[in-house]
Amino acid sequence: MEDISLHILDIAENSIKAKAKNIKIKFNENTKNDKTILEISDDGEGMNKKTLNRALDPFFTTKNTRTVGLGLSLLSESAKAANGTFSIESKPGKGTHLKAVFQTSHIDRKPMGDMTSTLISIISGHPEVNLIYIHQLNGKKYRLDTQKIKSQLNGIRINSPEVLRIIKSNIKKGLDSIGRQK
């Protein structure tokens, strides 16, 4: 994967395939302590211990359509290549939580990528899912909560073109307000 936003999209799609109705993505960049932390949590089916133990094996997948499952292993390798760590916790019926830590200044840390397009892809393709996205940069915070947005739409679908335009603009302005450029 070229950038972190593509890792996030892949993990979110995995969460949705695992029947998650709520996904929380936290992205915390701190240049002072030279750490970037990505956390993704969902309330999907979760994994049993056997599946969890094999989750980082690139030649293991629970999908019937292919024989490899690269998403988690690639994210883990990306974190480790940037002098970081990766951890994953999951319980059947409770969901999954993963955490990837990167050294922010490391030459091998992948760029953030186009987070706006990633979030719009998730929202437009899966309007039934509640998505919380929190991005912090050196203490400044931007938050997007689709459940709150849906509660104000009076029956208009969140993935309608006009609503997506407004959300896209909000994401761009929010990320700009904390000093986060593409």
**Cα-based torsion angle of the residue sequence 74, 179, 181, 126 in order, rounded to the nearest 10 degrees:** 60
Domain that holds residue 108: 4-177
Residue 61, pLDDT score: 56
| pLDDT tens, residue by residue, 13-60 | 999 999 999 999 999 999 999 999 999 999 999 998 888 877 776 555
Does a structural domain hold residue 70?
yes
H/E segment holding residue 26: strand 22-30
Does a structural domain hold residue 168?
yes
Does a structural domain hold residue 182?
no
**Cα-based torsion angle of the residue sequence 27, 28, 31, 35 in order, rounded to the nearest 10 degrees:** -90
Identify the segments of the chain with pLDDT beneath 50. Answer: 63-69, 182
Global pTM value: 0.91
Helical residues (DSSP H) of the chain, grouped into ranges: 4-17, 49-54, 70-81, 115-125, 146-151, 161-177
Closest CA to 83 of 108, 58, 64: 108
Task: Kindly report the CATH number assigned to the domain that includes residue 162.
Answer: 3.30.565
What's the total number of domains in the chain? 1
Residue 55, pLDDT score: 72
Does a structural domain hold residue 59?
yes
**Cα-based torsion angle of the residue sequence 38, 141, 128, 67 in order, rounded to the nearest 10 degrees:** -10
Residue 70, pLDDT score: 60
